[in-house]
């Protein structure tokens, strides 16, 4: 266990995370494997591409897996520039139409006037043509995980995508492990393989064929003995809310830290908060953090950490790839550092009174639900995606097949 403690590091914020990522790219001798959901054409996105090109030039084999689905967020928010999926309208009409809709949910601007035209990026062409770089960026993978593997020796995973907001301002975490055995354990989990051995560090992964993260969230809530802290960007699932209510009713102190203004589904977040306050009278404390929190973190009894890419939404029960790390070690420096960080976050946050109703728009919450949540008639798709799919078929028949 002491060996694992020395090899486990909590990276708080994008600046520290990217510093470690770039350092490991520079030191890589054989391979770099990157899996992300969002990769923007901005300062940090271009710096990442430059670092990888330099590694490839010295013979390192670079593999990049970037879900085409992430283009919806890339087009809809921030500088609206996608690094890899600029021609989405040619390759995936459904995602193109969904990205138009995303302009409303992210930037709240008039969607037709503000649709972003993509600027050419020469670095992308160099990555595409480099013999030592393999790109898997033109497929809709339903992959929301974020991780880096260096020489099969080191692993960095968590919730941070590649974009300036993650680097400069958003609050999130990554975890770095310098241990080949743990890297192999993670790779086995990605392949859907389990293990019977007990280890204070493990990985819970949802793949296309197996879903475990949702049950682990629920198991941790039900197993809490004294207290739990949750720091979450998107909390929209009433199943988790009801479980937290039951935990508070049996005497568990529940603390939730959420962004004051989420970049998307903000009204759904606030609807959940009102729901929680209405149904429990004690043992529940909620904070609004002044900056955007993108973390997906559950901390149980000052001992168990569950952290990664999965939010408390219905997506955690669908066939979308997610990757979380589970650390069960009260005395680890990693655990003590996280506990200290959560206390600091609470000091910078606003304590919400249960007497006040949090303002939110029910109409926008309904629209946000249609945008992200699943519908029983369309397994593993959002209601809006289902409408977009029907629209896509009509457009294809009209313009491409007629």
For 362, counting Cβ atoms within 10 Å of its Cβ (0-12 exposed, 13-18 middle, 19+ buried), the class is exposed
All residues at 6 or more sequence positions from 294 whose CB lies less than 8 Å from its CB, including other chains:
159, 160, 166, 170, 171, 172, 233
Distance of CA 307 to the CA centre of its chain: 10
As given in the structure block, the two tokens for residue 397 are 């028949």
Average pLDDT on 339-362 reads 91
Least confident of 82-86, 354-358, 389-393: 389-393
pLDDT tens digits for 303-327? 999 999 999 988 766 668 999 999 9
pLDDT at 67 over 60: yes
**DSSP symbols for 335-369:** HHHHHHHHHHHHHHSEEPPTTSPPP--HHHHHHHH
Rounded to two decimals, what is the model's pTM?
0.89
- Distance in angstroms (rounded) separating the CA atoms of residues 81 and 68: 13
Which top CATH class is 2-178? alpha beta
Distance CA 95, CA 92 (A): 6
Per-residue model confidence as pLDDT tens digits over 208-246: 777 799 999 999 999 999 999 999 999 999 999 999 999
Q: Look over the chain and give the mean of its residue pLDDT values, rounded to a whole number.
A: 87
Task: State the pLDDT at residue 177.
Answer: 97
Higher-pLDDT residue of 385 and 280 is 280
Percent of the chain whose predicted confidence (pLDDT) is above 90: 66
Predicted pLDDT at 87:
83
Q: Residue 124: its pLDDT value, please?
A: 96
- At residue 34, the pLDDT reads 98
Q: Do residues 88 and 81 make contact, with C-beta atoms less than 8 angstroms apart? A: no
- Report which listed range, 174-178, 261-265, 369-373, 382-386, is most confident: 174-178
Which uninterrupted H or E stretch holds 401? none
Write out pLDDT tens, residues 85-121. 888 767 777 777 777 766 666 655 444 444 567 889 9
What pLDDT does residue 24 have?
Answer: 98
Predicted pLDDT at 182: 94
- pLDDT score at 395: 45
Confidence band of 373 (pLDDT split at 50, 70, 90) = low
Q: How far apart are CA 253 and CA 249, in angstroms?
A: 9
pLDDT of residue 220: 98
Q: Which residues pair with 10 in a beta bridge?
A: 175
Structure tokens at 132: 């030592």
Q: What are phi and psi of 189, to 5 degrees?
A: -65, -40
Q: How far apart are CA 14 and CA 167, in angstroms?
A: 4
Between 59 and 265, the higher pLDDT residue: 59
**Of 99, 45, 46, residue with least CA distance to 76:** 99
pLDDT given for residue 375 in this prediction: 36
Residues 127 and 137: their CA atoms lie apart, in Å, by 12
117, exposed or middle or buried, with CB in 10 Å at 0-12, 13-18, 19+?
exposed
Confidence of residue 374 (pLDDT cuts 50, 70, 90): very low
Backbone angles phi, psi at 126, to 5 degrees: -65, -40
**Residue found by looking up tokens 């369309």 in the block:** 378
More confidently predicted of 3 and 237: 237
Within 8 A by CB and 6+ apart from 219, the residues are none
Rounded to the nearest 5 degrees, what angle is found at the Cα of 321, between the Cα atoms of 298 and 165? 65
Overall average pLDDT of the 171-177 stretch: 98
The residues, ordered by sequence, that sit 6+ positions from 231 with a Cβ below 8 Å of its Cβ are 256, 257, 258, 293, 295, 297, 299, 342, 345
What gap in Å lies between CA 372 and CA 399, rounded to an integer?
29
Number of residues that make up the chain? 402
Residue 222 C-alpha from the chain's centroid = 24
| 265 has a pLDDT exceeding 80 | yes
Q: Which two tokens stand for residue 168?
A: 């400069």
Per DSSP, 233 falls in state S
Listed residue (284, 274, 285) closest to 250, CA to CA: 284
**Coil, strand, or helix at residue 34?**
strand
Q: Which is higher by pLDDT, 168 or 103?
A: 168
In this structure, the strands spanning 284-289 and 253-259 are: parallel
């Amino acid at each position: 266990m002491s060996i694992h403690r020395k090899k486990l590091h909590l990276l708080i914020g994008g600046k520290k995370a990217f510093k470690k990522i770039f350092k490991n790219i520079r030191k890589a001798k054989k391979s770099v494997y990157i899996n992300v959901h969002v990769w923007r054409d901005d300062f940090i996105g271009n710096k990442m591409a430059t670092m990888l090109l330099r590694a490839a030039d010295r013979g390192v084999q670079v593999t990049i897996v970037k879900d085409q689905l992430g283009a919806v967020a890339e087009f809809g928010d921030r500088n609206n520039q996608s690094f890899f999926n600029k021609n989405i309208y040619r390759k995936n009409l459904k995602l193109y139409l969904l990205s138009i809709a995303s302009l409303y949910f992210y930037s709240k601007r008039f969607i037709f006037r503000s649709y972003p035209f993509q600027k050419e990026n020469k670095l992308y062409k160099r990555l595409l043509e480099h013999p030592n770089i393999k790109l898997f960026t033109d497929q809709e993978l339903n992959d929301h995980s974020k991780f880096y593997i260096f020489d099969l020796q080191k692993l960095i995973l968590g919730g941070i995508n590649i974009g300036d907001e993650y680097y400069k301002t958003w609050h999130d975490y990554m975890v770095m492990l310098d241990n080949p055995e743990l890297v192999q354990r993670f790779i086995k989990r990605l392949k859907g393989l389990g293990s019977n051995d007990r280890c204070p560090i493990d990985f819970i992964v949802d793949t296309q064929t197996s879903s475990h993260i949702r049950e682990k969230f629920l198991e941790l809530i039900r197993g809490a003995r004294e207290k739990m802290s949750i720091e979450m960007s998107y909390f929209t699932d009433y199943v988790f809310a009801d479980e937290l209510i039951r935990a508070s009713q049996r005497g568990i102190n529940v603390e939730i830290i959420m962004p004051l203004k989420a970049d998307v589904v903000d009204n759904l977040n606030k609807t959940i908060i009102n729901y929680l306050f209405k149904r429990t009278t004690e043992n529940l404390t909620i904070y609004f953090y002044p900056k955007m929190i993108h973390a997906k973190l559950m901390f149980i009894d000052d001992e168990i950490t569950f952290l990664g890419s999965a939010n408390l939404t219905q997506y955690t029960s669908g066939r979308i790839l997610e990757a979380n790390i589970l650390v069960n070690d009260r005395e680890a420096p990693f655990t003590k550092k996280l506990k200290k960080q959560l206390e600091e976050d609470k000091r910078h946050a606003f304590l919400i009174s249960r007497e006040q109703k949090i303002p939110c728009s029910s109409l926008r919450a309904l629209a946000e639900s249609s945008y992200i949540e699943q519908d029983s008639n369309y397994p593993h798709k959002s209601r809006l995606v289902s409408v977009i799919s029907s629209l896509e078929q009509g457009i294809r028949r009209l313009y491409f097949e007629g």
